[in-house]
Amino acid sequence: GGGDEKEVTVGAKNFTEQFILAKMTEIMLEENDFTVDMVDNMGSTALRQALESGEVEVTWDYTGTGLITYNGEEPIAVKEEAYEAIQEIDGEQGLTWTNISDIDNTYTLMMRQQDGEEMGISTISDLAEHVNENPEEMTFATDAEFGNRDDGLPGVEETYGFEFGSSQVSEMSYGLNYEAINNEEVNVAMGHATDSRIEEYDLFNLEDDQQFFPSYHAAMSMSTEVHEEYPEIEEIMAPLAEELDTETMMGLNYQVDIEDENVDDVARTYLEENGFIE
């Protein structure tokens, strides 16, 4: 605050998509004379707390996460309805949601194609049946966040009526879940739907036949104070948010996670090639 310096702090969680979205935001705001500080590598709850405390001012988050994890609300399946609901609820808490995109990064349970075929598992209901019949057979890899969130493992188990034994569940840093299943250390793992490793490792997403997982569309979530001070942030980011969708995001994630390109290059090249920056 104070002076004519336009300064904001952008925050991000601890996975590639978040790094890319935050980096794009940084680049586009810097193009428009902002000075940007970056704080990244946080779990969802830590990022939210940083936003609430003002340590972080501008973030990208997900409608479903806002409703369920941050506000203890019921999930809402329809994109626009979820967006309006979180705008209203968070609006009362000094937070403003803008720039909803078509990136739907929902949670998923994944298996290797071949295992699914051999075990006759294609839906989460099939998985539940298997776990109930033979609890020793199925092993599961998850990050800590999914393992503990209401819209994560506890909720899936409750909805579908099964429970992995505690010795069947391996908790690990996000990212290693894909390696664990690819290396056949487990036969089921949690994933993020926009993660390119699902395709790269020939995994498939178990059909969520009871529709437990809602939509998680990416949008900007920022401090209302900052939104009022700098209404141009929403305008600067609007063309990009309108362009981004699940497929585009998976492609960008692929460049970082599979092709080992760095986040800055991937973000900058995309923005240049699509005319968002000079």
- Which residues contact ligand PBE (rule: CB under 6 A)? 13, 44, 62, 64-65, 105, 107, 192, 216
8 Å CB contact between 51 and 220: no
Question: How far is the C-alpha of 61 from the C-alpha of 59, rounded, in Å?
Answer: 6
- Least spacing, CB of residue 228 vs ligand PBE, in Å: 26
Side chain identity at residue 70, one-letter code: Y
Nearer to ligand PBE, 105 or 187 (CB): 105
- Helical spans, DSSP H, in the chain: 16-31, 44-53, 63-64, 79-91, 113-119, 124-133, 144-148, 153-160, 176-182, 197-200, 224-229, 232-243, 246-257, 263-273
- Least spacing, CB of residue 220 vs ligand PBE, in Å: 14
User: Quick check: helix, strand or coil at residue 44?
Assistant: helix
Nearer to ligand PBE, 65 or 99 (CB): 65
Work out the end-to-end distance of the chain between its first and last CA atoms, rounded to an integer number of angstroms.
28
Nearer to ligand PBE, 65 or 98 (CB): 65
Nearer to ligand PBE, 180 or 249 (CB): 249
Nearer to ligand PBE, 65 or 187 (CB): 65
- Least spacing, CB of residue 88 vs ligand PBE, in Å: 19
Nearer to ligand PBE, 29 or 219 (CB): 219
Question: How far is the C-alpha of 59 from the C-alpha of 9, rounded, in Å?
Answer: 9
Cα angle 256-262-268, degrees, rounded to a multiple of 5: 100
- Least spacing, CB of residue 101 vs ligand PBE, in Å: 12
Nearer to ligand PBE, 116 or 152 (CB): 152
Question: How far is the C-alpha of 197 from the C-alpha of 205, rounded, in Å?
Answer: 12
User: Quick check: helix, strand or coil at residue 42?
Assistant: strand
Indicate the residue whose CB is closest to ligand PBE: 65
- Least spacing, CB of residue 135 vs ligand PBE, in Å: 27
- Least spacing, CB of residue 44 vs ligand PBE, in Å: 5
Residue 246, number of CB atoms within 10 A of its CB = 17
- Least spacing, CB of residue 147 vs ligand PBE, in Å: 13
